[in-house]
Chain A
């Protein structure tokens, strides 16, 4: 599919409406061309002697024509522009729907701001193309063409010369429009640089002060400030030339019509009414002419934006398997000879692990040792090599992602909560969870006492528009969110790091009961979180370097034993007031 084909697809959804809109455009154009004829006739009548009653008739005809034109104008805008808003709505929904299908890999490479700008700014310029640009180009062509035909009937020679203005005005608008757009962009880009500089200066205020660089910062800022004014100056020159030039060009056309027309009047080859009507037609042509130049730029910008949207649309989601397990799984997890790399960088090497249903596995290791990647492969945020990860003896790639994730309750390392109420955030885990179930999960996650202190309890909104949760409170909300799923496989990725030792112990106690009958994987930097596990593995540089129970590993005197010893002293220190 090409960007253009995609665009026509959306047009085709609204073709009846658009056809109706086109009829209205034709209607409004026809009636708008009638008015000069009426005025011209009235003026002609005046110069040839006339009665008052006829003046009233002309006046009423004018108003009638304007009323009908107005109705068509209203309808054309109402039908076409509203349709463009519907197309925009469809496209945005489709775009977001597509984003949801894209894998983690895609998001690691893309900047959020860039994707957002596509979904908003680019979509807005595509909308300008499908709505205003289409409407104005059609109506402009009709009005310019119609006016020209009418002018031709009045005075062919004058009409042809006026026609010369068409390419001039449209060209002028297009030329200046594109340049003004570019220079505006240059100004905005530089403004972005200034903003970035100010941002750095403010964020680095301590460095600036410590090295007494205030004055040189002011000097640098002044330099940029000066350059910014200089860039603006060149934009100002352009815009200050453009509008007066357009103004003057339009004026020149009127002078010309006046000059040639007056001579014809004197020579008696043209009536005063025709003269007036001609001027009105010229006036009718001007705005559509300007619009044409503007519309060309809209088309160009719209297509460029469409291409940018299309780039994202062309990214294929990971292939998913349709395969489903008929029964709920028992939760036996097995990993066989798993080796995984990001590009050329190996992250996991030859991992072998077996977790029986109901067992808890503890995973420890330094930052960057591969713990989170291992979990991401189990949840299929990354695609594991075929035949390395098995659930109940079936290769994980044979199970649909949707179903697999249905059985997993995970607490990710970086807690991500949404700006909604705490209850809604917990219910994010299972939409149909009752209030009681939400409350119960909150209890199990050790949130209850905190929540009691919030203005609206569980209904308290968090984030920018509500209260700010502490790191520990966030983690516990994420734990409740995973628990409310009633998952077969529970995964905690360093989920208690921001929680103090006493709360940690409470949560661990609660988890001990919950873990019964479920498979659990607990990643942690803290020994206290994993020491109850049935089996503990230590990862280092992508390999399992130690494995066994807490007692066995402490006995062994390796990395795990050292970690344990240090944390014991740390806890002691914390007790000293």
Chain B
């Protein structure tokens, strides 16, 4: 989580009715599990508090130490037993009590086990639903949303934030019930046994609460300081390890080591502050507990002498006083969980509530493709749109007026034609393809397929018309075959192989250790640029689209691969309608029409020969970019 988000957490409330209601909605499909969990928690706390009571009764009724009289609970149990005609001698009674104790333990084990499994699984299922919902929504959000929100931030939604909610549903929600029931149970039993002694014992409670609150608060503050300082160390290391050669080049070792020592010392000191809280807290709680024991000895002992408290009850008081502290301490911890969960859910809901602007409302499918047309299209990336979360005021300035990337662009591609787009980097060529696939919508003008506006088609039908080969060959982690078919089950292994063979990618694939099943590592690491290029050609061919959009790569590769790629491109384009952002002379020369883009406008159009015939932009571009190819 970033510093900024951490900061957000601190300001959030631990309880927000609107968010809570929405969160409870996720509990609804699991309400059976949830109620069973709560029920089991209640049973578990009953088992939890039964032990000392059994001991007390057994001592009073069966052990009967000198001067002990059955009083209170023990007398009630004794009368009940007598009333039912059960008479037990000392040893049988003890055996019986031990048996009951054993039963309570076993029962407790089963109940606790079931409750934990149930509750944690419920948490997992809710997380499952949430992750699914977030991921699916991300698959529909506008491409523009991804331009504005860094991938890292979106990842946090699916990962860290969802985990914070898991804590809420497991450690938070049900456990709170558990603690409250155990506490209430102990209070109830002690009052039942002897309310005066119970009151005396509970007089230490405010101190436990106060010390716990003091500790939690201190621990939280120091913990935050520790977190911030370890983050500073991490940031320093990240920078200095990546930039180590700069450090060494400028002989900065001593200075930087000194700086690091400073950060390191601050981290140490923050930890030492934290140690103080821990070092004081545990002994202090122990001391308060002992004061509780002393009170039982003094006040309870007095009652025993007076004959108003049984010895068994006194022993039980000793035991309960030891179990009393934990739930109180746990409860004070829940506040943090609630707070973190509220902050996380707010961020998640914000993402889920982001509307999709490019709506998939068209219903047409294209049938046979006749034409693709741009008619007076104007487009700018920076107009309107939802603002990214957490965006600073800095970007606001640029929002004022659109920076046109395409200005009044019109052209038409008929079936079977090849149109080449040429021009400088940033002239708007790639934007043309993004608009065609409806990643963005133009501010003015129309884009038409077979004479009908593209928004009339379903997104799937529209995008199925094209296969795009981008410059940045994006490979996914997975095997070669999956990278060609992109997991589309309708593409058979045969189609995959044929496609690879036709673009001559099969040669290098067959050299890989496991052929088509070889795993491509992150971003295609381990494959050469040329190999990645061939793979993406195979991908386009496997999808066999009516129109091919090709954004040729400019990266220089060795001559042999270059020849392979040129041939592959010929194969790809053969008899197909295509839109090519072209860098290779061979591709351009064979185009039916060349569109010359300059600063967002189409400045010249025509065939290679026509354009070469007059002294224009194309001719100049040709001189720079393609002369080398002519020489070669």
A232 near B55: Cβ-Cβ < 8 Å? no
A-B contacts, CB under 8 A, total: 367
The answer to whether A343 has its CB under 8 Å from any CB of chain B is no
B249 near A379: Cβ-Cβ < 8 Å? yes
Q: Which residue of B lies closest to A567 (CB)?
A: B624
Q: Which of A120, A209, A221, A266 contacts B135 (CB 8 A)?
A: A221
Q: Knowing A112-B242, A381-B248, A412-B245, say if A93 contacts B260 (CB, 8 Å).
A: yes
Q: Which residue of B lies closest to A416 (CB)?
A: B243
Q: Knowing A99-B241, A107-B245, A204-B476, say if A428 contacts B252 (CB, 8 Å).
A: yes
How far is the CB of A564 from the nearest CB of chain B, in Å? Answer: 12
The answer to whether B46 has its CB under 8 Å from any CB of chain A is no
B318 near A381: Cβ-Cβ < 8 Å? no
How far is the CB of B518 from the nearest CB of chain A, in Å? Answer: 18
Q: Chain B, 380-412, contact with A by CB distance < 8 Å: what is the 0/1 string?
A: 000000000000001000000000000000000
A42 to B296, CA, bound (A): 11
A74 near B283: Cβ-Cβ < 8 Å? yes
A21 to B264, CA, bound (A): 24
A467 to B394, CA, bound (A): 9
A50 near B301: Cβ-Cβ < 8 Å? yes
Of residues 188 through 217 on chain A, the ones whose CB sits less than 8 Å from some CB of chain B are: 191, 194-214, 216-217
- A56 proximity list for chain B (CB < 8 A): 298
Q: Knowing A115-B241, A198-B135, say if A573 contacts B621 (CB, 8 Å).
A: yes
- B264 proximity list for chain A (CB < 8 A): 89, 92-93, 96
The answer to whether B31 has its CB under 8 Å from any CB of chain A is no
The answer to whether B591 has its CB under 8 Å from any CB of chain A is no
How far is the CB of B234 from the nearest CB of chain A, in Å? Answer: 6
Q: Knowing A62-B297, A233-B124, A406-B251, say if A207 contacts B470 (CB, 8 Å).
A: yes
- A218 proximity list for chain B (CB < 8 A): 132, 135-136, 139
The answer to whether B268 has its CB under 8 Å from any CB of chain A is yes
- B136 proximity list for chain A (CB < 8 A): 218
Q: Which residue of B lies closest to A419 (CB)?
A: B239
A62 near B294: Cβ-Cβ < 8 Å? yes
The answer to whether B253 has its CB under 8 Å from any CB of chain A is yes
B624 near A566: Cβ-Cβ < 8 Å? yes
B101 near A59: Cβ-Cβ < 8 Å? no
A35 to B256, CA, bound (A): 53
Q: Knowing A47-B66, A248-B105, say if A112 contacts B143 (CB, 8 Å).
A: no
The answer to whether A552 has its CB under 8 Å from any CB of chain B is no
B295 near A59: Cβ-Cβ < 8 Å? yes
- B365 proximity list for chain A (CB < 8 A): none
A63 to B41, CA, bound (A): 35
Of residues 88 through 103 on chain A, the ones whose CB sits less than 8 Å from some CB of chain B are: 88-89, 92-93, 96-97, 99-102
Q: Chain B, 285-311, contact with A by CB distance < 8 Å: what is the 0/1 string?
A: 011011101110110011011000001
The answer to whether B488 has its CB under 8 Å from any CB of chain A is yes
- A81 proximity list for chain B (CB < 8 A): 275, 278-279
- A206 proximity list for chain B (CB < 8 A): 143, 434, 439, 470, 474
Of residues 100 through 117 on chain B, the ones whose CB sits less than 8 Å from some CB of chain A are: 101-102, 105-106, 108-109, 112-113, 116-117
- A216 proximity list for chain B (CB < 8 A): 486-489
Q: Chain A, 510-529, contact with B by CB distance < 8 Å: what is the 0/1 string?
A: 00000000000000000000
A42 to B294, CA, bound (A): 10
A196 to B283, CA, bound (A): 45
Q: Which of A74, A102, A214, A217 contacts B279 (CB 8 A)?
A: A74
- B66 proximity list for chain A (CB < 8 A): 47-48
How far is the CB of B398 from the nearest CB of chain A, in Å? Answer: 13
Q: Say which size band chain A's interface belongs to.
A: 35 or more
The answer to whether B460 has its CB under 8 Å from any CB of chain A is yes
Of residues 389 through 407 on chain A, the ones whose CB sits less than 8 Å from some CB of chain B are: 401-402, 405-406
- B108 proximity list for chain A (CB < 8 A): 244, 247-248, 251
Which candidate, B154-162, B209-217, B569-577, is the interface stretch facing chain A?
A: B154-162
Q: Knowing A220-B487, A225-B131, A272-B311, say if A78 contacts B276 (CB, 8 Å).
A: yes
How far is the CB of B127 from the nearest CB of chain A, in Å? Answer: 8
Q: Knowing A244-B112, A405-B250, say if A266 contacts B63 (CB, 8 Å).
A: yes
- A197 proximity list for chain B (CB < 8 A): 477
The answer to whether A254 has its CB under 8 Å from any CB of chain B is yes
The answer to whether B90 has its CB under 8 Å from any CB of chain A is yes
The answer to whether B261 has its CB under 8 Å from any CB of chain A is yes
With an 8 Å Cβ cutoff, the count of chain B residues facing the other chain is 139
B260 near A210: Cβ-Cβ < 8 Å? no
How far is the CB of B266 from the nearest CB of chain A, in Å? Answer: 10
Q: Chain B, 463-506, contact with A by CB distance < 8 Å: what is the 0/1 string?
A: 11011101000101100000000111100000000000000000
Q: Knowing A112-B242, A569-B624, say if A259 contacts B94 (CB, 8 Å).
A: yes
- A357 proximity list for chain B (CB < 8 A): none
The answer to whether B457 has its CB under 8 Å from any CB of chain A is no
How far is the CB of A38 from the nearest CB of chain B, in Å? Answer: 8
B315 near A43: Cβ-Cβ < 8 Å? yes
- B248 proximity list for chain A (CB < 8 A): 100, 104, 381, 401, 405
B305 near A50: Cβ-Cβ < 8 Å? yes
The answer to whether B237 has its CB under 8 Å from any CB of chain A is yes
Q: Which residue of B lies closest to A59 (CB)?
A: B294
Q: Which of A222, A244, A266 contacts B109 (CB 8 A)?
A: A244
The answer to whether A14 has its CB under 8 Å from any CB of chain B is no
Q: Knowing A67-B287, A412-B245, A416-B246, say if A82 contacts B294 (CB, 8 Å).
A: no
A493 to B301, CA, bound (A): 87
A82 near B283: Cβ-Cβ < 8 Å? no
- A163 proximity list for chain B (CB < 8 A): none
B102 near A255: Cβ-Cβ < 8 Å? yes
Q: Chain A, 554-576, contact with B by CB distance < 8 Å: what is the 0/1 string?
A: 00000000100010011011001
- A220 proximity list for chain B (CB < 8 A): 487
A266 near B91: Cβ-Cβ < 8 Å? yes
B125 near A229: Cβ-Cβ < 8 Å? yes
B65 near A47: Cβ-Cβ < 8 Å? yes
B68 near A47: Cβ-Cβ < 8 Å? yes
The answer to whether A176 has its CB under 8 Å from any CB of chain B is no
The answer to whether A116 has its CB under 8 Å from any CB of chain B is yes
- A225 proximity list for chain B (CB < 8 A): 128, 131-132, 135
How far is the CB of A224 from the nearest CB of chain B, in Å? Answer: 10
How far is the CB of A309 from the nearest CB of chain B, in Å? Answer: 14
Q: Which of B101, B240, B251, B489 contacts A405 (CB 8 A)?
A: B251
Q: Which of B94, B238, B267, B424 contacts A112 (CB 8 A)?
A: B238
A202 near B146: Cβ-Cβ < 8 Å? yes
Which of A220, A259, A401 has the largest number of chain B CB atoms within 10 A? A259
Q: Which residue of A lies closest to B540 (CB)?
A: A211
A429 near B250: Cβ-Cβ < 8 Å? yes
Q: Which residue of A lies closest to B488 (CB)?
A: A216
A120 near B116: Cβ-Cβ < 8 Å? no
Which candidate, A166-174, A234-242, A348-356, A543-551, is the interface stretch facing chain B?
A: A234-242
Q: Which of B234, B249, B261, B287 contacts A412 (CB 8 A)?
A: B249
A82 to B269, CA, bound (A): 9
| Top 10 closest pairs, chain A to chain B, by CB | A70-B283, A66-B290, A59-B294, A240-B116, A244-B112, A77-B279, A416-B243, A259-B98, A73-B283, A59-B298
Supply 23 A–B pairs (Cβ within 8 Å), ascending by A.
A46-B67, A59-B297, A63-B287, A71-B283, A77-B278, A81-B279, A96-B240, A99-B241, A104-B245, A197-B477, A199-B151, A200-B477, A202-B146, A206-B434, A218-B135, A225-B135, A228-B128, A233-B121, A243-B116, A258-B97, A262-B94, A419-B239, A576-B617
Listed in ascending order, the chain B residues whose CB lies under 8 Å from chain A are: 51, 55, 58-59, 62-63, 65-68, 90-91, 94-95, 97-98, 101-102, 105-106, 108-109, 112-113, 116-117, 120-121, 124-125, 127-128, 131-132, 135-136, 138-140, 143, 146, 151, 154-155, 158-159, 230, 233-235, 237-253, 255-257, 260-261, 264-265, 267-268, 271-272, 275-276, 278-280, 282-284, 286-287, 289-291, 293-295, 297-298, 301-302, 304-305, 311, 314-315, 318-319, 322, 394, 424, 434, 437, 439, 459-460, 463-464, 466-468, 470, 474, 476-477, 486-489, 522, 539, 543, 556, 598-599, 617, 620-621, 623-624, 627-628
